[in-house]
Chains A and B, each alone.
Chain A
C-alpha cells in the first residue's frame, strides 16, 4: 500500500478512536445514572419534600432551590454581560485595551469555582452581610457564569455583518439607537444561547454554593433575602457521602438523573433556539 494512503487511514482511525473514547465516557455516565436513578423516579419523588435524611420523600424543594439560583444568576448576569460586551465592541476603540479586556474575561473563566465560592462568600456574605443565603448563591453564580455569557454574546455581536451597522449609521442612528435597532436584535441568538449555556453550567455547580447559599435539610422555600435554599447538587453530594441507608443512595442517583435531565434540556433548548434564530437571520 502507498505509505501516504496508509498514514492517512491510520490518522482517520486514530481520530475515530479518540472520538469513540469521548462518546464512550458520556455513554457510561449516562447509562449508569439512568440505571441507578430511574428506580427512584416517581410522582412522590418529584413533588414531595425530602424526609428522614433523604431516604424518604422526594426532591421538590431541591428542584425549586436549584431553579431559584439558576434563574437569579441569569437575571443578574445577563445585563452585566450585555453591557460589558457592548462597551467592548461599540465604545472601546483601542485594540490593546480590547485585547486586555478579552484576556480578563477568559481569565475569569479559568478561576476554580471554589475560589468563586470563597471570594464570593467574603464579599457578598460577610462584607455585604448577606450571610449564607440564596442571594449570596445567586451573586456568586452570576459572577461565575459571566464569562460564558460574555463570550457567547460577544461572538454574536462580532458576527453581525458590518453592512448592517453601516446601514444603521447611514440612517443617522445614534449609538444607543444603533444598539437597540441593529445590534441587539441581530445578536439575540447569542444572548439566548449564552444564557442557557450559563444556566447549564450553574446547574452543575456545587463547590461555589455549597457553603455559601445552601443547606441540606430543614429548608423549604426561602422566606427572606437572608435564608439559604436546598439544591439538587448539595442533596446529591451529602446523600452520596454520608448516607448509610441504600434507599437514600438510590435517591441520590434519582436526584442526579433529574439534574442531568435539566442540564440536557437546557443544552437541547440552546441548540434548537440557535438553529432557529440562525435560520431566521440568514433569511
Chain B
C-alpha cells in the first residue's frame, strides 16, 4: 500500500563521512508525483541526503550510509544493487549545469543512446519531446547541431534537464538547480518543475524557503543532523481533504 503512495521511504538513516555523522536517525517518506523540497542551512547535509537517494556518494572515500532507504520499492543500500540500473530510474540534475563538449542534439540523446530499447526507437522524436518538456525546443530547434557550450547558463541547465528527461526517469533529484542562474532563468526552471510533477516525483534541494513554498507540496528540513518532515502543505490533485 505505502509503495503506491510513496516513491521513497527512509527509516533510521545515518549518513557519515569518515565516521562523522552528517545526518543521524532520519526517517521520512516522499510521495509519488509530488514536488518535495529539501531545505536547510549550508553544510547541513541536504545534498548528501539527496545524493544518497541515487547512491551518488558511493564514489566519495569514507562515505557511509546506514539504515533503510527504499526507492520505488527497492532497498537501495543493499551492496548487491546495480547502481546504474537504479540511476536509469532516478535522474539527477546538478547545481552547476554540465553539458558535454558535443552538439545540443548529442547532449540530449547522450543517455538515451545507452538506455533505448533495441527495437529502433526514434531518437529525434524523443529528443524533441525532452527539449519541449524542458521548455527549450523553441530556443534551439534551428541549431541542434551547434555546440552546447554556446548556450547561456540557464539554457545549459534546461539542456541538462532535457538530457535527464530523455531517459524518462520516474524520480528527478535536483540539487539546487537554480543557484547558479539569474532570476529569469530561475523562474523558467521553477515553471519547468511545476510542469513535470504530474509525471515525475521531484525532490528539490534549495536554499530558498520562498522557492520551496512556490514549487513544493512537501518540505523536508535538514538541520543539526536531523531531518524533519513537514508533510503535505497542499493536497495533491485527487486527494480528499477530509
Contact = CB atoms under 8 A, between A and B. Distances in A.
B101 A177 contact: no
A171 B111 contact: yes
Contacts of A163: 94, 96, 98
A174 B82 CA distance: 9
A192 B93 CA distance: 33
Interface stretch (B35-43, B119-127, B133-141, B160-168): B160-168
Given A163-B96, A281-B101, A283-B149, A170 B91 contact: yes
B110 A172 contact: no
Contacts of B88: 171-172
Contacts of A281: 101
Interface residues on B, range: 20 to 34
A174 B111 CA distance: 11
B147 A164 contact: no
B84 A166 contact: no
A93 B110 CA distance: 27
Q: For this complex, into which size category does the number of interface residues on chain A fall? A: 20 to 34
B232 to A, nearest CB: 28
Contacts of B86: 172
A95 B85 CA distance: 27
B94 A171 contact: no
B84 A167 contact: no
A186 B111 CA distance: 16
Contacts of B110: 171, 181
A70 B86 CA distance: 46
Interface in B12-70: 54, 56, 59, 61
A165 B60 CA distance: 13
Given A171-B87, A172-B88, A177-B114, A166 B98 contact: yes
A182 B106 CA distance: 13
B84 A174 contact: yes
22 contacts: A95-B61, A165-B59, A166-B94, A166-B98, A167-B98, A169-B87, A170-B54, A170-B94, A171-B87, A171-B111, A171-B163, A171-B167, A172-B84, A172-B86, A172-B87, A172-B88, A172-B167, A173-B87, A174-B84, A174-B114, A181-B114, A281-B101
